[in-house]
Amino acid sequence: MVKILYRWQFPVMKSRVLITLPLPTAALDALKQQFDVQIWDQGPMPKLQIAQRAKTTDAILCSLGTSITSDLIRSNPQLRTISSISVGVDHIDMAAATAASLPIGHTPDVLVDSTADLALALMLAATRRIVEADRFVREGHWSADWTTDFFLGTDLSRATIGIVGLGPTGLAVVKRVRAFGAKVIGWNRTEREVPGVRNVALDDLFAEADIVSVHTAAAPETHHLVSANRLALMKPGAVIINTARGSVIDESALIVALSKGKIRAGLDVYEQEPLAKDSPLLALDNVVLMPHLGSATAATRQAMMERACANLIAGLDGKPLPWCANPEVYAGG
């Protein structure tokens, strides 16, 4: 008697992933092997497109440019995870995500050195007027002989540098500027003792520092922490650096202060990104502008991508995210 075995094969449904930004080909190909991927690669993804496509997806892979609202989260209970290629998650309504037991992935601990390096680069560029001088040469203005007041700047070795926010990136900047011989004063929301850093009140920091470098996270209590009043406390010729979040500085007040020529600045982040084409900042010579490049090194971006993908895969497998921004969703689970 011949025994016949029938093997019924049913198609395995791949999890559906919405990717809201262009990805490197290798990373995208790897994700396509595991998931049913739909990708938006036409610039910032419009909110209407996100809302429409989210209805047919199980997970979203995004970055800071994608706004994940409470309405989007509530309207899509099928979502199993959102993975962001970023440390900050202020573009996501975290309260709504946690209330919906939706785990949010992020990529901490890999941006510290690259962001600290950029803060130092902005300090040097702003204090030594590098961008301004480069433009001066390129536009053919360098025709006079050398004079004693030609493009005068500030020595980091003689400067007092104020660090606003003594978290990992702030501490990495402390290490770098101390190597230059700078004096360092600091302020943190929760007072922290750091060797070589003298803790001061925030207003005193702005009044005393030659350079202020901002490294505090975006939060309701840090919104416009750098206010018009604090900018007014800065010394003539002092410099403010921001590689944290744009919302920490009152940008309108900063523009007024810069327009008066009292201070200088080096900025990598803004209240609205991308920076508007009619922003008054673009017309000012005493500010160095960067397009949010704190993490823009090959090694850092690769590490961010790996963590974001690991979070995505874990979430779709029903496992805890390795780098979860709202771990309370697993409480009691």
Q: Where in the sequence numbering do the catalytic residues fall?
A: 245, 273, 292
Buried b (16+ CB within 10 A) or exposed e, 216-230: bbbeeebeebbeeeb
Using CA atoms, how far apart are residues 204 and 159, in angstroms rounded to an integer?
16
Sole residue written with tokens 């536009």: 139
β-strand partners of 39: 19
> Integer distance in angstroms from the first to the last C-alpha of the chain?
52
Helix then strand count (H, E) for the chain reads 11, 12
DSSP structure string for 65-119: TS-B-HHHHHH-TT--EEEESSS--TTB-HHHHHHTT--EE--TTSSHHHHHHHH
Using CA atoms, how far apart are residues 165 and 113, in angstroms rounded to an integer?
15
Using CA atoms, how far apart are residues 271 and 77, in angstroms rounded to an integer?
31
Nearest Cα to 166, choosing from 186, 184, 181? Answer: 186
Using CA atoms, how far apart are residues 144 and 60, in angstroms rounded to an integer?
57
Q: Contact at 8 Å (CB) between 272 and 246?
A: yes
Which of the 8 DSSP states describes residue 182? -
Using CA atoms, how far apart are residues 109 and 310, in angstroms rounded to an integer?
15
Half-sphere exposure for 240 (CA within 13 Å, toward CB):
31
Q: Strand order in 287-289's β-sheet?
A: 197-199, 183-187, 160-164, 211-214, 239-242, 264-267, 287-289
